[in-house]
Structure 1
Amino acid sequence: NTKSIILYKFEYPYLIYLIILNAVFYLIIIILLNNIFIMKVAILFTLKRDSLFFPNYLKRPARSFLSIFKKLIGKISSLLLT
């Protein structure tokens, strides 16, 4: 009986941790794919317009990705700490 209780206590948080990791992994992949799509659209727009507009457009998706990533890390750390 004691062994099963110990195993259950060990496995339960571990499962939650795995689920969180999985969710984060998929979110990051989705965000990255979104960014690639935004970049492609931006490149198409800039090719049609002028090259001066080009660098600003490329910087924007990266910034948004970083901010989203930071927010995710903050949320996960707060979840793990509590």
Structure 2
Amino acid sequence: MTERIRINLSVDKEMNDLLTELAELTGRPKTTIVKDFLDNMQPAMEMTRDGLKALKDNKSISPALQNMINLVEDGMKEMNEFNQEVK
């Protein structure tokens, strides 16, 4: 199992209200919702990091941009499939 490192996080009232509502609707703790969201966002965050590193090193960001486009396209496909299942 991967070691988990605890971090402190502050959010504004609107975000807290949203997390509270999601927690109530799903029956899951707010911390789990935030952790799952961050886990799901990790590929996008890694691509952002890679693009920023490329910019900092004066390298082409085309590969990072293409990876981001692919990620968005994959997400859209998954959402379309989900919408079809729900109908």
Report the TM-score, using the length of structure 1 for normalisation. 0.44
Report the TM-score, using the length of structure 2 for normalisation. 0.43
Higher alpha-carbon Rg: 1
The structure whose RCO (Cα within 8 Å, separation 6+) is larger is 1
